[in-house]
Structure 1
Amino acid sequence: MTKRVLFVCLGNICRSPTAEAVTRVLAEGTDVAFDSAGTSDWHVGEPPYGAMQAAARPHGYDMSGLRARQFTRGDFADFDLIVAMDPANLSEIEALRPAGDDTPVVLFTDYAPETGADHVPDPYYTRDFDQTIELVEACARGLLSRL
């Protein structure tokens, strides 16, 4: 049975689509499916942020086919693991948790404690797209080692 993992950030145009694209590449050949969403509805239907896509391409990650969507309460039933990019996103996700649901919700950086990061900074604001890719790669490797 395929394990399903959902990555969640705020707008679903930088961090979570990067996590989805990177982890898909690193998990190639495994029985794991990935998706991403945002806690806000600001960018629903839009592709990932152009600068994020441009930074990811040289690393071998193509996000051009992804489109932003908003996280919903139904995602708890549809996914085996929900991975938040920062504590604020984690709180927003938990606020939608249906009563009695036990789907794990974790911070992505929990899978890469060696980085010392407690969240994935938003490159939309920091403008450090390469740093985001490097941190996401480390977290993705850690996640895949535990699936």
Structure 2
Amino acid sequence: MTRILMVCLGNICRSPLAEGILKSKVDSQKVFIDSAGTGGYHIGKLPDSRSIAVAEKYNIDITDQRCRKFQQSDFDEFDLIYVMDAFNRDDILSLARNEDDRAKVKMILNELFPNENVDVPDPYHDTERGFENVYQMLDKSCAIIANTLNDGE
């Protein structure tokens, strides 16, 4: 089973959406997906209501998710760690113990824009449209990830 972790800052906006979107595109018997935040601000809470709403708009339910903080042990638990922006990438890489850990960390939009290291903007302080834009970006990246995973079967 392939294990994938999605990471953003608070684990309430971007990474829960990425988790839910990718889950909707892969076989849960073959791929396990989770999400976490680099900050521990919202541990145990539901994703942001605006993330829940935009996911529901596309028939994805993320209300079973609870926020958690990234831990160094996640390097042992996951095969791939997709980060939403350079700030989170740097935070995660600072916890890496070795080259194997570092090799697991990828910028999620590099799936769409290879090697450009484009950030998924944090919609937390944005309007409703910000969440829609983030959803669309993540949906496109997750489609590429899912195709890659499905091709590997």
Distance 1:53 1:29 in 2: 20
Would you say 1:91 and 2:56 are equivalent positions? no
Partner of 1:45: 44
Tell me the alpha carbon deviations over residues 48-95 of structure 1, each in whole angstroms, 9 at most, x when there is no partner. Answer: 001111121011111111000000000000000000000000000000
2:131 to 114, 129, 132: 129
Task: Please state how far the C-alpha of 1:123 moved relative to its aligned partner.
Answer: 1.2
Tell me the alpha carbon deviations over residues 16-68 of structure 1, each in whole angstroms, 9 at most, x when there is no partner. Answer: 00000000001136611100000000000000001111121011111111000
SS at match of 1:125: coil
Distance 2:120 2:29 in 1: 25
Structure 1 length as normaliser, TM-score?
0.92
**% identical aligned pairs:** 34
SS at match of 2:66: coil
Structure 2 length as normaliser, TM-score?
0.88
Tell me the alpha carbon deviations over residues 85-131 of structure 1, each in whole angstroms, 9 at most, x when there is no partner. Answer: 000000000001123544510000011128x8811111112231111
The 5 A counterparts of 1:98-113 are: 98-99=97-98, 101-102=100-101, 103-113=103-113
Cα 1:100/1:118, change in 2 over 3 Å: closer
Task: Report if aligned partners of 2:86, 2:117 keep a CA contact under 8 Å in 1.
Answer: no
Following TM superposition, where does structure 1 have runs of at least 4 consecutive aligned residues deviating by more than 3 angstroms? 99-103
Task: Please state how far the C-alpha of 1:144 moved relative to its aligned partner.
Answer: 1.7
Q: Which amino acid aligns with 2:105?
A: V
SS at match of 1:71: coil
Distance 1:41 1:50 in 2: 18
Q: CA RMSD in A?
A: 1.8
Instruction: Kindly tell me the number of residue pairs found equivalent between the two proteins.
Output: 145
Q: Which amino acid aligns with 1:113?
A: F
Partner of 1:13: 12
